[in-house]
Structure 1
Amino acid sequence: MKRVSLIALAAVLLSPPALAAEPGAHITGIGGVFVTSKDPKALAKWYRDVLGIALEPWGGAILRYDAPGHPPMALWNAMPENSDEIAPSHRDFMINFAVDDLDAYVARLKAKGVAILKVEADKTGKFAWILDPDGTKIELWQAVTK
């Protein structure tokens, strides 16, 4: 999926929330991202040491929606199998992390020896892409602030 369609999706998400027409329970947001790894402890250590994600004693992390500078939403989007949006990863998903200062974050990653695949900006914000040790593509996003 091209960035243009993600921009349209973000515009819809930034509008007042609309719940499904069905009465009853509704999805209110992303509750977690769960990945598999041949070495989950080493992968968690990389996310802690390289990306700066604070790990909890149980081994995962809590990423709060109400953290300062966090965008007011999280996106979910299904892409075609042959989409180049996730390349060069061979995983079936990509993780997007919101950051408060993309330039400083990219500089910190470079200092830690992380290869930056690409950096770009559009009207929704600034983006950078990297791969984790398992080859999962990570999109870093600094949202435009109003």
Structure 2
Amino acid sequence: MKRVTGIGGVFFKAKDPKGLSEWYRVHLGVPVQAWGGAAFRWADDNASGTGTTAWNLFKEDTSYFAPGTASFMINYRVDDLHALLAALRAEGCQVEDKVDESEYGKFGWVIDPEGNKVELWQPPEGK
């Protein structure tokens, strides 16, 4: 019997759920629905049906989520990391200066209005 087959959702608390949902809709393009959440379908975002959703645990004293103080960080796939980071800066969002580029793709970070660090990931070409 196969057990876990992937990440089915990401859920977290917010001081202002409606306001934070609106920030994610406006600045990151999350397709927030009338019911308050969003559903991402792999077939919509990647017609070839291939891709990866990562799941990983970090030591409790990691600084990787800093300056965020939450015990989680969400990673969102993006098509053009550098263009998105430039747009977020132009919109007045708090964007980390650092960008990591490796064989795993390009990684950048933005801090949402409630102080959560959000990782943005552009997968390597063809992945």
| TM-score scaled by length of structure 2 | 0.90
Per-residue CA deviations over 1:87-115 (Å, capped at 9, x if unaligned) read 11100000000001111111111111112
Are 2:94 and 2:112, in contact at CA under 8 Å, matched by a contact in 1?
no
SS in 2 for 1:50: helix
Per-residue CA deviations over 1:11-51 (Å, capped at 9, x if unaligned) read xxxxxxxxxxxxx2411111100010111000001001111
Residue equivalent to 2:72? 93
CA distance in 1 between counterparts of 2:13 and 2:58 reads 20
1:65 equivalent to 2:30? Answer no
C-alpha displacement of 1:136: 1.1
Are 1:71 and 1:98, in contact at CA under 8 Å, matched by a contact in 2?
no
The more displaced of 109-118 and 42-51 is: 109-118
Q: Aligned-residue CA RMSD in angstroms?
A: 1.6
Residue equivalent to 1:15? none
C-alpha displacement of 1:71: 6.4
SS in 1 for 2:84: helix
CA distance in 1 between counterparts of 2:122 and 2:2 reads 31
C-alpha displacement of 1:75: 0.8
| TM-score scaled by length of structure 1 | 0.79
Alignment of 1:1-146 (within 5 A): 24-66=1-43, 67-68=45-46, 72-117=51-96, 118-146=98-126
> Unmatched 5+ residue regions in structure 2?
none
Relative distance call for 1:83 and 1:103 in structure 2 (3 A) is same
Which stretches of structure 1, 4 residues or longer, exceed 6 Å deviation after superposition? none
SS in 2 for 1:133: coil
CA distance in 1 between counterparts of 2:106 and 2:78 reads 10
Are 1:106 and 1:128, in contact at CA under 8 Å, matched by a contact in 2?
yes
Aligned AA (2:85): V
State the identity as a percent: 44
